[in-house]
Amino acid sequence: MNVPEGDLRRSRVVADAAAPLEAALDRRLTGYLVLRPADPLVPDDGGGVITVEEGVPVVAYHDGTDTGGPAALASLSGHGPYRAELYAVDAADLADVHEVEALRVPPGAPAEQVADDTELARRARERSPANRSSSDGDDAVEAFLADEERIADIKRRARAEAERRAAEWGFDDAVEPEER
Amino acid sequence: MVEAFAVASGKGGTGKTTTTLALGMALADDHDVTVVDADTGMANLLFHAGLADADPTLHDALVDETADVRAATYDRFGMRIVPCGTSLAAFEAADPGRLRDVVADLAADTDVLLLDSPATLGSKAAVLPVVLADRVVVVLQPTVPALSDGLKVQEYALSYGTKVAGTLFNKVHERGTDAVETADRYFEGPTLAEVPDSDAARAARAAGEPLLAHAPDSNAAAAYRRAAARIDVRGGDGDAVADRFRSAVIPDPP
């Protein structure tokens, strides 16, 4: 996805994606957010760009999975903390990329599917122009559920974490041998 | 004869407490049910059950070794409810290590023990209800963060020898039902119910009543009743469960 280079307005490490999305909404930013996983223990699997018009999300792209639209949100979800950068761009310079249907996301979907913030999602939907689809982010859920490898990875990591913590917390007796 | 269930979700806002009380009320038609607010750091259940002024609460039993948890047990809506209080001082004085003893005492005379579990896997005390329960009910909603955290809860439970009774989807809107079907293959146990997104749950919470008491004829209430009917309570040996709770590890204070 090609977005024109913008003016950096803010850059910080955040625990989740709610703060930068809210900052964009509150400032009625026109431009884009760049979110890149900032956990040094997690391999860098790429980051995402979400464009905003008057603070409301329009399109999304993830460079690690080369996916756009709701699938890009699914790739971005659950990888916080993030290095979050906000850039301002002239609305006219975003017009082309905003025409690409495959990259479009519902206005509330980034808040709901990436930031897990239903109230922020509601505000984004309320602020969005009448011609924007306000349907929820089911497509992001479908993209997430279609990614069997990622789900297997989440399960694997959770198992490893549970077993590591069992030793830390003295739950060793409770741990069952791996059956699968 | 008792079976202990942890009602868990890994993240907040999925309707876990609404679910716990709804399953409790539905199961109470056929069983003796005790519901415990095992989320001792974030008292919530009392507001859903009209017990906002309850005194004493579970915290008292967690502070004082000699306190009898039965004093903090309230008969409401056909169940026994053990709420937590909202006092921060009481929470800080409470010893979560006492939870296993308290729950062991409760297990001695009930059929079904429902533990409304903390919405996190971040600490030993938060994970304890999942470790202690026989089975877990994983509460989900059709969003990526909820599914992702629900998968983690399931893997924690399985790692600690706790079985999965099934998954329950809250806040499902019309288009979300496909996602529920697809999600089913990644979770152990059946999909117990898809509860439609409705205002009934919010209204019930505002009224301080469990959903099944506030809006018994709502679609959401019907879905919870179907979910409860799909849970085949296995009624283990009450003494064995009590022993297991007593011998479980003692978590550090928060």
- Please report the ipTM that was assigned to this predicted complex: 0.89
Mean pLDDT of chain A: 89
Residues 6+ apart with CB under 8 A from B33: B24, B25, B27, B78, B79, B80, B110, B111, B112, B114
In this prediction, residues A116-124 reach a mean pLDDT of 93
CATH class of B3-247: alpha beta
Position A175 pLDDT exceeds 90: no
CB contacts, 8 Å: B178 with chain A = 138, 142
Share of chain A above pLDDT 90, in %: 75
Residues of B193-223 as b/e, b for ≥16 C-beta within 10 angstroms? bbbbbbebbeebbeeebbbbbbbeebebbeb
Helix intervals (H) in chain B: 16-27, 45-48, 58-63, 88-93, 99-107, 124-132, 144-159, 177-183, 200-207, 211-214, 219-230, 238-247
Question: Which residues does B contribute to its contact with A (CB < 8 Å)?
Answer: 11, 13, 124, 127, 131, 142-148, 151-152, 154-156, 158-161, 173, 175-176, 178-179, 182-183, 186, 248-249, 251
Contacts of residue B15, Cβ cutoff 8 Å, sequence gap at least 6: B139, B141, B170, B171, B195, B201
Q: Is the pLDDT of residue A135 over 70?
A: no
The pTM of this model reads 0.88
Is the Cβ pair A78, B131 closer than 8 Å?
no
Taking residues A37-56, report their average pLDDT. Answer: 88
Mean pLDDT by 10 residues, chain B (254 residues): 91 92 97 94 90 91 86 96 87 78 87 93 87 94 93 95 95 78 93 92 93 96 97 76 63 45
Q: Is the pLDDT score of A137 beyond 60?
A: no
pLDDT band for position A133 (50/70/90)? low
Alpha-carbon torsion (B242, B229, B44, B169), positive or negative: positive
Nearest alpha-carbon partner for B24 in B105, B84, B99, B80: B80
Burial of B12 (0-12, 13-18, 19+ CB in 10 A): middle
Higher pLDDT, A129 or A48: A48
Interface test with A, best of B144, B191, B197 (most A CBs within 10 A): B144
Q: How many whole angstroms from its chain centre is CA A163?
A: 28
CB contact under 8 A, A78 and B145: yes
Would residue A44 be called left, alpha or beta, if left means φ above 0 and alpha means ψ between -120 and 50 degrees? beta
pLDDT tens readout for residues B72-96:
999 999 999 999 988 877 778 887 7
Contact A162 B124 (CB under 8 A): no
Among the partner-chain residues A146, A155, A163, the one whose CB lies closest to the CB of B151 is: A155
Contact A141 B147 (CB under 8 A): yes
Model pLDDT, residue B177: 72
- Partners of residue B13 in chain A, C-beta under 8 Å: 116, 118
